[in-house]
Structure 1
Amino acid sequence: MDLLTLDSLPVELRDKILYRNLTAGENLFLQGDLASSFFIVETGRVKLVRYTSGGKEVTLQIVGARDGLAEIALFSDTYPCTAIAEVNSQVIVYPKVLLLSAIRNNPDLAEDFMAMLVRKIQDLKIRIELRDIRAAHERLLRYLHYQAQSNEQTIVNFDRPLKDIAADLGLTPETLSRALTRLERDGMITRTRLSITLQNSPAA
């Protein structure tokens, strides 16, 4: 039993699941909204952000296809962040109360949900590790290796603007561009406009 195989879910939950289509830039929910649902991105990409008291937007996470978002909604009264579609997207909407009941009563579903949380923790750990690498080109190289390992290949395809990837890495777009140039010059990578191929170089 898993959340993406809807036919395997308890009927009382399955019958209340909805699909929501979002256009690029559309909000799925706002920071402070009543937390009534959990979501899985079916297609597209959703960005989770928080706003500081000064109005600055801080990106917390980018959620891609088949990944969950707003897990905290199950244990909180309000959403702690804002969810914005980066591209046209479709999300699956799971009612909070019914999903919690299904998790409590179905060990297989609870295990699937815990596995999803573990993946999120691992992703967060990687992001923290990356931020601890001071040299921009080394930080970028480690990021590229992580991306390649997750796809079990040596090619990293970019489906997001480089400025967004730079923000994820805590770099300016200009610094990211210089880091790419250095890695290419040093023979660590070859690149086209939308992809990078890792050469036989260890991660930094």
Structure 2
Amino acid sequence: MISIMSAWIHLFDGAPTREFPKGTALFRAADPVRSMYLLRSGMIALERPMADGTSLTLHLASAGSAVAEASLFADRYHCDAVARVDSEVAVLPKPVFLRDLERQPRAALSLIETHAREVQAQRARVEVLRMRRVADRLDAWITLHGEPAQGDWSTVAHQIGVSPAALYRERAKRR
């Protein structure tokens, strides 16, 4: 039996895939929303360009997740989607995806559940980012997610809003 959490993923069975080398964009802010994306491998960042030339990372999509599903009912994207590493993405035209959701209520419910869990995760991330000290942010992140794999500490630094150097200094204090 398919988990309700992943029942929507089968909508991408047979969908064409595209490769996006590190640094390339799936789409840019103000582009029309024409497709729904499923990240097969890699990592895609949803970034909002800022006036000072920097980017605000709104979300990091990992393998098995939809990219910019919140834009499904928008006319235009409100951010850029940029490959952080070489990535492979399945692409479905927006009308096909919406038609399939209408025909398959279980898939629609699973997408809603996936999105609800993402909202919960974002709320938790906001609370972590509100903490002033790196130590407190790290403790909160570990409480929520557990110890990361050895090579994933730079991702943790990004998720808690500190530089990798600041995170490594904090980790060194704990040894």
Give me the TM-score of the superposition, normalised by structure 2: 0.86
**Does the CA contact (< 8 Å) of 1:73 and 1:96 recur in 2?**
no
Instruction: Please tell me whether residue 178 in structure 1 is matched to residue 169 in structure 2.
Output: yes
Moved over 4 A (4+): 158-161
What is residue 149 of structure 2 aligned with on the other side? 157
CA distance in 1 between counterparts of 2:66 and 2:50 reads 24
CA distance in 2 between counterparts of 1:130 and 1:170 reads 9
Q: Which runs of 5+ in 2 are unaligned?
A: none
Partner residue of 2:116 out of 90, 99, 118:
118
Matches within 5 A, 1:38-57: 38-57=36-55
**Does the CA contact (< 8 Å) of 1:21 and 1:89 recur in 2?**
yes
**Does the CA contact (< 8 Å) of 1:68 and 1:116 recur in 2?**
no
CA distance in 2 between counterparts of 1:63 and 1:160 reads 15
Q: Decide which structure has the larger Cα Rg and report it.
A: 1
Instruction: Please tell me whether residue 168 in structure 1 is matched to residue 168 in structure 2.
Output: no
Partner residue of 1:5 out of 10, 21, 40:
10
CA distance 1:80–1:160, shift in 2 (3 Å): farther
Q: How many positions carry a matched residue from both structures? A: 170
**Does the CA contact (< 8 Å) of 2:8 and 2:108 recur in 1?**
no
CA displacement, residues 45-75 of structure 1 (integer Å, 9 cap, x when unaligned): 1111011123221111111111111112211
Which letter does structure 1 place at the counterpart of 2:166?
A: T
What is residue 27 of structure 1 aligned with on the other side? 25
**Does the CA contact (< 8 Å) of 2:48 and 2:55 recur in 1?**
yes
With a CA cutoff of 8 Å and minimum separation of 6, indicate the structure with the bigger relative contact order: 2
Q: Which runs of 5+ in 1 are unaligned?
A: 149-154, 186-204
More helix by share: 2
CA displacement, residues 105-148 of structure 1 (integer Å, 9 cap, x when unaligned): 32111111101111210110111110122221121122123222
What percent of counterpart residues are identical? Answer: 26
Matches within 5 A, 1:71-150: 71-148=69-146
DSSP-derived class of the 1:21 partner: strand
CA distance in 2 between counterparts of 1:173 and 1:107 reads 43
Partner residue of 2:35 out of 13, 30, 37:
37
CA displacement, residues 173-204 of structure 1 (integer Å, 9 cap, x when unaligned): 3322222122x23xxxxxxxxxxxxxxxxxxx
CA distance in 2 between counterparts of 1:107 and 1:159 reads 39
Which moved further from structure 2: 94-103 or 28-37? 94-103
CA displacement, residues 142-170 of structure 1 (integer Å, 9 cap, x when unaligned): 2123222xxxxxx42155572x5433322
